[in-house]
Amino acid sequence: MDVNSIIQGCEKIFNIASDIKNSELLEEICSLKKAIYELTEENVQLKKELANKNKYNMKPEQNYYANYNEDGNLEGKYCTHCYDAENLAIRLNEYEKGKYYCPHCKNSYQERRTI
């Protein structure tokens, strides 16, 4: 059963409750419809996030995310804040050797030196 079928079922129950003038049932159906809409919106958002997560192969390195392509080569460095908090894959710009900034949130990143 898809969401539209569930909503149509709610509409039928709503109309029946309206015909028999059962206000308690009408309120329950309205609450149920609202919950269905909220779950539908959440589901759409989660599908978008999952599609975005599957698009990248992010590995935490240094203090940013490094994305590797299918061959295992480094494709780019990405902002951890934007990826974790906003689900946005924003490639970091290098403004000086080993120093980067995010063009979206303006966070700056500096590679730690390894010996």
Shortest reach from residue 88's CB to Zn ion, in Å = 7
Number of residues that bind Zn ion (CB under 5 A): 7
Residue 86 sits at the vertex; the CA angle it makes with 52 and 68, to the nearest 5 degrees, is 45
For residues 10 and 32, is the Cβ–Cβ distance under 8 A? yes
Shortest reach from residue 73's CB to Zn ion, in Å = 23
By CB under 5 A, is residue 92 in contact with Zn ion? Answer: no
d(CA 41, CA 49): 12
Calculate the CA dihedral of residues 72, 73, 74, 75 and round it to 10 degrees: -100
The binding track of 31-70 with respect to Zn ion, each residue x by CB under 5 A or -, is ----------------------------------------
Residues that bind Zn ion (CB under 5 A): 79, 81-82, 90, 102, 104-105
